[in-house]
Amino acid sequence: MKKFFINTYGCQMNVHESEKLAGILFRRGYERAQSNEDADIILLNTCCIRETAETRILGNLGMIKKIKEKRPDVIVGICGCMPQKPGNAEMLKKRCPFIDIIFGTFNMYKLDEYLDAAENHEKISEIWDKEDKTDDAPIRRDGDIKAFVNIMYGCDNFCSYCIVPYVRGRERSRNFDDIVSEVCSLVRDGYKEITLLGQNVNSYKGGAPEFSHLLRALTTFDGEYRIKFMTSHPKDFTIDVAEAMASSDKIADFIHLPVQSGSDRVLKAMNRRYTSEDYLNKIEMIRSYIPSVGISTDIMVGFPGETEDDYKDTEKLVEKVRFDNIYTFIYSRRSGTVADKMPNQIDLSVKKGRIKRLIDLQFEISDELAEKCVGKTYRVLCDSWNNGIASGKSSCDKTISFQSERNCYGEFLNVKVVKTKKNKLIGELE
């Protein structure tokens, strides 16, 4: 029986799409290989959000080339966002002629057809931008307690630095009833945490007046489970969503709300369509509805023209909000985006200095926040258990480790935080 190995890069959207690729491959009767080395079909499901992502993928292709030299019958396919970026498919064909199949984000569901051709020694390169049908693909989920569910595809926001709208196309929402029935069967199958995926879930329009209606509809099933969602755009996050979250234990008390910068000048140039004050007001509104909410964010340093004062505004915002977690990025030029043509691109050494300061600042904040958790009890979904050591996440997305003689994987448990160890929370079963 033929074996496949999928290398996944990038965001959760890609992680989930790899589950769809796996679904198609299992349907074909293939099975999973342990590594690229023992696979007959090697797929790279790629990301191009930053240059570093592309560099890493090109590096891995060097390693895959060696496998192909040793075993010429291996089929190598590259898909996802990277080939979809204008110019990249041609670049890949030139630099890596050993690749058999090149396809994009819109036509993943055609993998079956592409494999038939490749097995006939044909080369395929098909990038297109027609309506996708990824909903039709069977899904082979990686986990048995956590599941991803697409609620929308693409993005219309065109933040000036971002490649996503170019590689994923216009925003499309999935049908309301299809989502409800998928989540319903996942809950019935024993999944405990379901994450709704979209680049901007708050602008969901698949047959409900707004996203909060979908959220409320997903809280009506029996049993204990949690609904999460990402990503939220601050300009579209409404009071209604906060109310829906506050009204049900079945929606996790957690929001990933990317701010990108604390400088109004930079936010405007990024085309984010909110000011730092708007953002702070939104945080205040959210916390007034859900006092125990966990909030994480994405922040980028070194956007073109970002001055030391602009950067300091970001630090000030981070100090005011006191995020539970921040994901920090160095701005990366993406050809075809508006920001790529902006003057005053910032030196890498300056960007590196700023990201380091930001990470240090957040480290201090996370330390203080962790101390505050000591003595509190959280409802934790255990997602790992090994030899008496368990770990899981609270509704507000805190990771807590604890001891349990019994294998409690997949269970919701009350865990009291008793101490911290370098930012990590250590708890005891109640």
Sheet with 75-80, side-by-side order of all strands: 31-32, 3-8, 41-46, 75-80, 101-103, 124-126
User: Is there binding between residue 200 and ligand SF4 (CB under 6 A)?
Assistant: yes
Least distance between ligand SF4 and beta carbon 299 (Å): 12
Among the listed residues 146, 223, 141, the one whose alpha carbon sits nearest the alpha carbon of residue 191: 146
Three-state DSSP class for residue 391? strand
> Which of ligand F3S, ligand SAH, ligand SF4, none lies near 165, with the C-beta cut-off 5 to 8 A by kind?
ligand SF4
The residues with which 146 forms a beta bridge, in sequence order, are: 193
User: Is there binding between residue 296 and ligand SF4 (CB under 6 A)?
Assistant: no
CB of 250 or CB of 351, closer to ligand SAH:
351
CA 85: distance to chain centroid? Answer: 19
DSSP assignment letter at 405? S
**Residue 294 burial (CB < 10 Å; 0-12/13-18/19+)?**
buried
> Which of ligand SF4, ligand SAH, ligand F3S, none lies near 81, with the C-beta cut-off 5 to 8 A by kind?
ligand F3S
Number of amino acids touching ligand F3S (CB under 6 A): 12
User: Is there binding between residue 164 and ligand SF4 (CB under 6 A)?
Assistant: yes
Among 74, 99, 149, 155, binds ligand SF4 (CB under 6 A): 155
CB of 10 or CB of 304, closer to ligand F3S:
10
Among 10, 83, 154, 427, binds ligand F3S (CB under 6 A): 10
Three-state DSSP class for residue 406? coil
How many CB atoms neighbour CB 21 within 10 A? Answer: 26
User: Is there binding between residue 382 and ligand SF4 (CB under 6 A)?
Assistant: no
- Could you say which residues in the range 81-140 bind ligand SF4, by CB under 6 A? none
Least distance between ligand F3S and beta carbon 217 (Å): 26
Contact 400, 392 (CB under 8 A): yes
Number of amino acids touching ligand SF4 (CB under 6 A): 10
Least distance between ligand F3S and beta carbon 298 (Å): 11
Least distance between ligand F3S and beta carbon 46 (Å): 7
Contact 417, 425 (CB under 8 A): yes
**Residue 386 burial (CB < 10 Å; 0-12/13-18/19+)?**
exposed
Residue ranges binding ligand SF4 (CB under 6 A): 155, 157-159, 162, 164-165, 199-200, 233
Residue ranges binding ligand F3S (CB under 6 A): 10-11, 13-14, 47-49, 81, 163-164, 167-168
